[in-house]
Amino acid sequence: MTDALKQSILDKAHRLGFLLAGVTTPDPPPHFPTFENWLAQGHHAGMNYLATDRSRLQRADPRQILPECKSILVLGIPYFPASYFKKGPNGMRGRVASYAAGEDYHLVLPPRLQTLMAFIEAQTSQTFPSHAYTDTGPLLERDLAQRAGLGWIGKNTCLIHPRAGSYFLLAEILLALELEPDTPFTSDHCGNCTRCIETCPTNAILPDRTLDARRCISYLTIENKENIPENLRPVMQDWIFGCDLCQAACPWNRFANPKGDASFQPQGSLPFPSLIEMLALTPESFNQQFKHSPIQRTKRKGLLRNTAVALGNLGDERALPALEHARDDTEPLVSEHARWAMDKIKSKTREPK
> What are the catalytic residues?
135
Q: Give the strands of the sheet with 130-133, arranged side by side.
A: 20-24, 71-78, 168-175, 130-133
- 156, 250 in Cβ contact below 8 A? yes
Phi then psi for residue 171, to 5 deg, are -150, 155
Instruction: Sort 89 into a burial class: Cβ within 10 Å, 0-12 / 13-18 / 19+.
Output: exposed
CA–CA dist 76, 221 (Å, integer): 24
**Alpha helices (H) along the chain:** 2-15, 32-40, 53-60, 105-124, 141-147, 195-199, 217-218, 245-248, 251-254, 275-279, 283-289, 299-314, 320-327, 332-349
Count the helix, strand and coil residues of the chain and give each as a percent rounded to the nearest 5.
45, 10, 45
The radius of gyration of the chain's CA atoms, rounded to the nearest angstrom, is 22
Residue 252 CB neighbours (<10 A): 21
Residue among 340, 86, 98 nearest 239 (CA): 98
Cα–Cα dist 281/67, whole Å: 47
Dist CA 171 CA 100 (whole Å): 16
User: What is the DSSP annotation of 223-238?
Assistant: I--SPPPTTTGGGSTT
Q: Buried (b) or exposed (e) across 263-302, using 16+ Cβ within 10 A?
A: bbebbebbbbbbbbbbbebeeeebeebbeebbbbebbbbb
Find out whether the peptide bond into 181 is cis, omega within 30 degrees of 0. no
- Nearest by Cα to 23 from 3, 37, 41, 39: 3
